[in-house]
Amino acid sequence: MIFTLKKILTALILPPSGLILLALTGLWLARRHRRTGAVITVGALLALVALSLPFTAHWLLQTLETASPITPRQLRQAEAIVILGGGVYRGPEYGGDTVDHPALGRLRYGAHLQRTSRLPILVTGGAPWGGTAEAEAMRAVIVDEFHGQVRWVEPASADTAQNARFSAALLRRDGIRRIALVSHAWHLPRATRHFESEGLEVIPAPTKFSTLPPALLVRFLPSAHALEDSSLALHEWLGLLVLRLQTAAGLSRAE
C-alpha cells in the first residue's frame, strides 16, 4: 500500500503530470485572475518544453553523475558485486518475465566486472506488482546469457531503500562489508547513501552514462525520451532531498 501510494504521489509531482496539472490550475485561476493564471499556464508549458529537450535532460542527468568509472584497483578492494534492478519486461516472446532494457545494461556491466575480478554477485529486486521477482529474472540473464554466476538473490525488495536493507542482511551473513555497487550513473548517488546507511562500504561502479546526440540540431528538438530522462533526474533529486530531510530528522533508515 505504501509503495503504491509513493508511486502515485511521485507520478503526480514529476513531469509530465505535475506540469500538466499546474497548467490546468493556471487555466482555472485565469477565470478570476487572468494575468496570474496566464503566467502559471505559460510557465508550466514552457517548462514542459524545456524538459523535453535532450540538452536539458543531459544536463540534469550529468548533475547526478558524480562517480567516475570504477578502476581495476578499486575493484580489487571490493568483496562482492551488487547489481540493482531496473525493471521487468512482461512481453510474450520470451515465454515469461525477463529484465527490461535498463536492467539489462546494469547486468551486462556487472557480468563484465565479474569476468575481470572473479567476485561473487548479488542481484536485488522484488515483484511489487506481482509476477516474477526481478532478482530471479536478473539471475537467469546473468547465468544463461552472460555466462556468469550469482551467489545471492534478494527477491523481496520494492525500492532502493529495501534493496539496500535486504541485500545488506544477506551480505553480512557471509561477512561481506565492502561492495562494488552497479547501477546507472545518475542513480548511484542516492543508492550509495542507502547502502552506506546499512553499514556497507560502497565503491560506486556506474554504467550507462548520459550522452548527447551528435547532431547539434537534435539536441534542441523536443522528444519523449528526453522528457523521460529529465523526469528520472528530477526523481533522483527529489529522492536525495527526502534522504537529507530524513537524516536531519534522525530517520535515515525510514523508507
pLDDT at 253 over 60: no
Q: What is the pLDDT of residues 135-160, one digit of tens each?
A: 999 999 999 999 999 999 999 999 99
Residues of the chain with pLDDT > 90, as a percent, come to 91
Residues 6+ apart with CB under 8 A from 92: none
**Which domains are seen in the chain, by residue range?**
2-63+220-248 (no CATH), 72-207 (3.40.50.620)
Rounded to an integer, what distance in angstroms lies between the CA atom of residue 122 and that of residue 75?
15
Reported confidence tier of residue 193, pLDDT bands at 50, 70, 90? very high
Q: Which three cell numbers stand for residue 80?
A: 562482492
pLDDT computed for residue 167 by the predictor: 98
Neighbours of 207 (CB within 10 A): 21
Query: What pTM did the predictor assign?
Result: 0.93
Weakest mean pLDDT among 174-183, 197-206, 242-251: 242-251
pLDDT computed for residue 249 by the predictor: 87
- Displacement of CA 23 from its chain's centroid (Å): 28
> Looking at this protein, which amino acid is placed at residue 49?
V
Which whole number is the average pLDDT over 37-56?
98
Reported confidence tier of residue 175, pLDDT bands at 50, 70, 90? very high
Q: What is the pLDDT of residues 1-40, one digit of tens each?
A: 788 898 999 999 999 999 999 999 999 999 999 999 999 9
pLDDT computed for residue 91 by the predictor: 87
